[in-house]
Structure 1
């Protein structure tokens, strides 16, 4: 399982990140100041660090100097959103820089991108009674293979990596089809209906009024 260290001193934000990532299938550990994070990094191996800048005892930029030789990818998540701060964080070796406040779906997407860049994503996902082999793009329910089109597979993967999260139609369209969503388009709805039937998610892949869809697991 992918292990992520969350270094954030604000308890509500830390809890939100941890809960969202745990639901998405990641193993999370939380640290609430820079020194605690350094101790955890010294004694454990993590696949990704989510790092606030303004931390007690040791700030995020100072901690980044400690992390860099460990070759662990880092995403800064911080209210310090000036151009100078973003440039400083990226030049120090961070893979990404997310400004607060942020949308959970954006955070999950950026985490997924960085992990794939480092080839650290789980090869197999198990969700909603399905087994998804992300290397071979093979989807099974029990011992039975489920044939999907490329777009259906991408749609399935999006829901599987964001369980219990309401996804806007605009977000779904942008992530699966690319480009800008056209209001009133039925593309997303038609593909979701077909996907439901093919994978047996009629009771789990639910419509969210005026929003889009949510996979309930």
Structure 2
């Protein structure tokens, strides 16, 4: 999910259209206040943030995001007509991942967005996806900054799905990949682990879809 905060209606519409053309889910806001309210409901992977906004400007919103543990991991690309070295350095020092000056090319913007989304999904040993952070090295999972306690098999199952988004796995494939070829139990074991994994992940767990007659997959949305 990408949030776009831009008070110029024309630019906002153009950027949202471009994101939709690339199958990147997005939502637009004309001011920082509405975006911050939306973040309380759903945390995006990336925010495209104009600086010269009414009431709360982009720099102030960026400070708010980076000062809270729940939102500091959100990537931010600043968009602004302010093109002095001072403004660019200020934005990057405040924690922005990138800074693009207006007028900008849509293709360049999309390229920068793709770089950040790819980096976020596979950040060293971490996978970051829609508010969930999965760390193999630390063997931990956090969802919206809250730790999620998983069994070893639940952890391995979630790892498989996260690393293969949109790919469907049959129950037999999951048994072979997670439990190993020597496993002689029932395929219902997979169903039970999927059930408990979904329960522990709450609303987020609905991303794990049952594919009738096949098995399971993790949907991007």
TM-score (norm 1): 0.54
Query: Shift of the alpha carbon at 1:97?
Result: 0.2
Gaps spanning 5+ residues in structure 1: where?
A: 124-134, 137-217
Structure 2 CA distance for aligned equivalents of residues 42 and 81 of structure 1: 31
Q: Alignment partner of 2:121: what SS?
A: coil
Query: Shift of the alpha carbon at 1:91?
Result: 0.5
Give 1:84's aligned residue: 86
User: Contact (CA 8 Å) 1:38, 1:66: kept in 2 or not?
Assistant: no
CA RMSD of aligned residues (A): 2.1
2:40 matches 1:38? no
Q: Alignment partner of 1:118: what SS?
A: helix
Gaps spanning 5+ residues in structure 2: where?
A: 130-162, 165-221
Aligned positions of 1:138-153 closer than 5 A: none
Structure 2 CA distance for aligned equivalents of residues 39 and 77 of structure 1: 21
TM-score (norm 2): 0.53
Aligned positions of 1:1-217 closer than 5 A: 3-68=1-66, 69=68, 70=71, 71-119=73-121
Structure 2 CA distance for aligned equivalents of residues 94 and 49 of structure 1: 10
Query: Shift of the alpha carbon at 1:27?
Result: 0.9
Structure 2 CA distance for aligned equivalents of residues 56 and 42 of structure 1: 20
Give 1:193's aligned residue: none
